[in-house]
Amino acid sequence: MFRKTSLLAAAMLLSFGLGSVDARSSRNYISIVGSSTVYPFATTVAEQFGRTTPYKTPKIESTGSGGGLKLFCAGVGVEHPDITNASRAIKSSEVQKCKANGVSGIVEVKIGYDGIILANSKKTQPLKLTRKDIFMALAKDVPDPNGGEKLIPNPYRTWKDVNSSLPDIKIEVLGPPPTSGTRDAFVELAMEGGGKTFDFIKAMKKTDKKRYKAVCHTIREDGAYVEAGENDNLIVQKLDANPDAVGIFGFSFLDQNADKIQGSFVDGAPPTFDAIADGKYPVSRPLFFYVKKAHVEAIPGIKDYLAEFTSEKAWGPEGYLAEKGMIPMPENERKKFYKNVQTLQTIPMP
């Protein structure tokens, strides 16, 4: 009877990832999921970590921010990921989901900033857009061009229809799916920023917040916007093959493919490292990853991975992640999140 009870206890420890010896024998590498935007940065850190420590190189999957948080919040234990990357902050509903599944200790690490780029092939001219242009081109419902405070299904077929100064080419935008943090940030920063240029839409935020969000965040579904999945490299290839198309992704993919594609100006600001860093480029957002505190002692190497990622040689102004296109945080923010990592400071639970 004692032997059966002991085996059961050991199995429970393994299942919940709380016994470091059992967990090590079951999984001896770090499991990371999440954002396609953070993926190249996390991969770079993981490769450096694998070369310079005795631990295995972490396994990283690009699932999108929403998909990653869903996997992350599913439970504690070696069958669940240890870390999830995100190109947006975790939502309160996701924190509640985590808590309901026993994931009560979550460490938030902001790692830097990124610009959301609308890019096209270098075989053609770069676009000079405003956030109003972006909203008018991609929103499902737009203000009636005949005037008044009425919304109608988006009638615009070409960029010239949207703004007479833009080229007379079909609106064809390849962008991320709803599970992507890039999509969340794009609709909040670009689409909502454009929607607010109309006074009656801006007024909705106070009078009918639900409708306001639906108007600003709902992308048209008539073929002008094409969900291109989480593989940003595939979007780059499609843009190179189709000079009339526009793609949406993080700045690092523009930076790494500058021989093939170019970024659009937005509200007069170029999509450059410096313009994003100093806040002139309006469509930019913070990047994060989240760590399951219960796994830190159970899975070998997590502390060392965190130390590598939050080192100045990685995320600092002269670090190797800046060379990959990530916009470093100011020094005070780096110090804050470095301290959070050192102390494993967890976010408040509802």
Number of Cβ atoms within 10 Å of the Cβ of 260: 16
The pLDDT, as a whole number, for residue 241 is 92
The pLDDT, as a whole number, for residue 179 is 86
Residue 149 tokens read as 């405070």
> Which pLDDT tens digits describe the chain residue by residue (350 residues)?
433 333 333 344 444 444 433 444 479 999 999 999 999 999 999 999 999 999 999 999 999 999 999 999 999 999 999 999 999 999 999 999 999 999 999 999 999 999 999 999 999 999 999 999 999 999 999 999 998 899 999 999 999 999 999 999 999 999 989 888 889 999 999 999 999 999 999 999 999 999 999 999 999 999 999 998 767 788 888 999 999 999 998 898 899 899 999 999 999 999 999 999 888 999 999 999 999 999 999 999 999 999 999 999 999 999 999 999 999 999 999 999 999 999 999 999 98
The pLDDT, as a whole number, for residue 3 is 39
Helix then strand count (H, E) for the chain reads 19, 13
Q: Domains in the chain and their CATH numbers? A: 2-113+287-343 (3.40.190.10), 115-285 (3.40.190.10)
Using alpha carbons, list the distances in angstroms from residue 127 to 47, 49, 167, 275: 36, 40, 8, 17
Coil, helix or strand for 206?
Answer: helix
The pLDDT, as a whole number, for residue 58 is 98
Residue 251 tokens read as 């700045």
Paired residues of 219 in beta bridges: 139
DSSP assignment of 160-186, as one string?
A: HHH-TTS-S-B--EEE--TT-HHHHHH
In angstroms, the CA 43 to CA 58 distance is 8
> φ and ψ at 284, to 5 degrees?
-135, 160
pTM of the model: 0.81
